[in-house]
Amino acid sequence: MNRRQFLKSTSSAAALLSMPRFAMAASGDGFVQLEAVKGQGRLYGEDGGLSDLWLYNGKLPGPEIRVKRGERVKVRFKNSLDEPTSVHWHGIRIDNAMDGVSGLTQPAVQPGETFDYDFVAPDAGTYWYHAHHMSWNQVPRGLAGPLIVEEDDNPFSPDADIILSLSDWRLDDNGLLDTASFGARHDFSHAGRLGNWLTINGTSLPDIPVTIGRWHRIRLINTSASRVLDLAPSRFGAKVIALDGQGFDTARDIDGVIQLAPAQRMDLVMKPDGAGPIPFEMMTGQPFIFANFVVSGEKAEPEELRMPATNSLPEPDFANARSFPLDMAGGAMGRMQSATMNGQEMSMRELVQAGNFWAFNGQAGMGDKPLFSAKRGETIILESTNNTAFPHAIHLHGHHFRVLERNGEKLAHPDWRDTFTTQRGETVKIALVADNPGKWLVHCHMLGHAASGMMDWFEVA
């Protein structure tokens, strides 16, 4: 992220963040309409040009979909793009048939076609939806939106329950979305497509209205194609209360920087005690401000924090668990010599010619056999090793897992996640209860990595 370029936007008037409470009107049968369309948006700011984007319902980010825990999400999806697509509901422990993975759980939705998504949202929390067909090309053009599942009793009123979708974009010299570099092999084989511009809910450097003395929940979603965001919530007095949708029992003060990798979410709570604005900074390189909390209201009786109720997930049964490796290899400056692709052993050179740079367990892209096969209800431990020169954000579909260890050290908080980070050379151990039947993807959420080898599947039967 380029601070100088970023700061140019401060010369134009800061935009007040609009937080449309999207009461999406449902039709008689309870379905809301979601349509993928071509559209345009001013990423660079009010005085910037119009970029060509692909959008849900013409909005950036896509409309907020909000249900209560245990309710059904019913979405009548229409594809009005010129190419096939599908919609994935990231982080939901979902019915497999509704997972939206084209080629695995459903055929892609063709241009002009519709598809009804209809599933139960079992856990409260911050989730999101995004295109899952050539995601590397579709998500960074704008096909992503928030999916919020509320607790039965939401302690935060609507204006104090704030969603911030964070996304980086690659803009060209004219401040327009750089579409020429989509699919660049250099991006795929290195850190993925990284942007040079950051937006929050589609706007650059917004003002976010907050009220003095009140507790707010700030729901952060990283919808970037590859950018790991370095955040330091404690610098503005915020505490962390949930990761990847799953809430903590108590609010946690986190010292220093905490990373939010692509697809990950982090819910914060904050209570402004004085006049603002309170800067929200990005800690990548020199800290820079990417949003301001603008404080209003009179100092009143300070509120007590009420923690939202947590979800109950099945706990791993370590005594009867089976372990599998997840070896990540390949990429630029990696040491991968060969891997299996489409059932054939191929040299690195042949893999690269076929557009694959990465592999899980020596398998580049989807294998005909699953990465592992679990009996329903069984506890699976994945021991992952990042034998590459880059960080990866590994996502398992249909399940949450506990992150147990990093580099052999037990973590103080074995938090539930649906996407975990691994740094170069790191080992990470996770445990999941494979209780959701079906064929599920496991892939890197650096979308170019997923498209060039870092994607496989597992089975729960």
454 within 8 A of 443, measured Cβ to Cβ: yes
Instruction: Mark residues 371-410: x for contact with Cu ion by CB under 5 A, - for none.
Output: ---------------------x------------------
The single residue among 443, 444, 449, 458 that binds ligand C2O, judged by CB under 6 A, is: 443
The single residue among 78, 90, 133, 190 that binds ligand C2O, judged by CB under 6 A, is: 90
Q: What proportions of the chain, in percent to the nearest 5, are helix, strand and coil?
A: 10, 45, 45
444 binds, among Cu ion, ligand C2O, none (CB under 5 to 8 A by kind): Cu ion
The whole-angstrom distance between residue 382's C-alpha and the CA centroid of its chain comes to 21
Determine the residue with CB nearest ligand C2O: 90
SS3 category, 118:
strand
Which is nearer to ligand C2O, 90 or 402 (by Cβ)? Answer: 90
Return the exposure string of 80-105: e unless at least 16 CB atoms fall within 10 Å of the residue's CB, then b. Answer: ebeebbbbbbbbbbbbbebbbbbebb
SS3 category, 334:
coil
Token digits for 420?
């975990």
Return the exposure string of 339-368: e unless at least 16 CB atoms fall within 10 Å of the residue's CB, then b. Answer: bbbeeeebebeebbeebbbbbbbebbbbbe
Task: Supply angle C-alpha 279, 282, 288, rounded to 5.
Answer: 65
Which is nearer to ligand C2O, 429 or 445 (by Cβ)? Answer: 445
Report DSSP state, residue 82. S
Q: Does 395 bind ligand C2O (CB under 6 A)?
A: yes
Return the exposure string of 180-191: e unless at least 16 CB atoms fall within 10 Å of the residue's CB, then b. Answer: eebeeeebbbbb
Q: Does 132 bind ligand C2O (CB under 6 A)?
A: yes
Instruction: Mark residues 440-459: x for contact with Cu ion by CB under 5 A, - for none.
Output: ----x-x--x----------
Which is nearer to Cu ion, 176 or 326 (by Cβ)? Answer: 326
Q: Does 439 bind ligand C2O (CB under 6 A)?
A: no
221 within 8 A of 267, measured Cβ to Cβ: no
Q: Does 98 bind ligand C2O (CB under 6 A)?
A: no
* Binding window for ligand C2O (CB under 6 A); candidates: 57-65, 78-86, 220-228, 438-446: 438-446
CB of 84 to ligand C2O, least distance (A): 16
446 binds, among Cu ion, ligand C2O, none (CB under 5 to 8 A by kind): Cu ion
CB of 238 to Cu ion, least distance (A): 28
Which is nearer to ligand C2O, 210 or 447 (by Cβ)? Answer: 447
Q: Partners of 417 in the beta sheet?
A: 401
Report DSSP state, residue 449. H
CB of 100 to ligand C2O, least distance (A): 9
Cα–Cα distance for residue pair 71/87, rounded to 1 Å: 19
CB of 91 to ligand C2O, least distance (A): 8
The single residue among 130, 239, 271, 417 that binds ligand C2O, judged by CB under 6 A, is: 130
Q: Does 133 bind ligand C2O (CB under 6 A)?
A: no
Tell me which H or E stretch contains 348. helix 348-353
β-strand pairing of 216-222 with 278-282: unpaired
88 binds, among Cu ion, ligand C2O, none (CB under 5 to 8 A by kind): ligand C2O
Cα–Cα distance for residue pair 142/162, rounded to 1 Å: 20
- Looking only at residues 33 through 72 of this chain, which bind Cu ion when binding is defined by CB under 5 A? none
Number of residues in contact with ligand C2O under rule CB under 6 A:
10
Instruction: Mark residues 259-278: x for contact with ligand C2O by CB under 6 A, - for none.
Output: ----x---------------
Q: Partners of 291 in the beta sheet?
A: 280
Who's near 77: CB < 8 A, 6+ residues apart? 34, 35, 36, 87, 109, 114, 115, 116, 117
Which is nearer to Cu ion, 310 or 423 (by Cβ)? Answer: 423
Token digits for 340?
């299996």
Cα–Cα distance for residue pair 143/189, rounded to 1 Å: 23
170 binds, among Cu ion, ligand C2O, none (CB under 5 to 8 A by kind): none
CB of 292 to ligand C2O, least distance (A): 29
Residues that bind ligand C2O (CB under 6 A): 88, 90, 130, 132, 263, 395, 397, 441, 443, 445
Residues that bind Cu ion (CB under 5 A): 392, 444, 446, 449
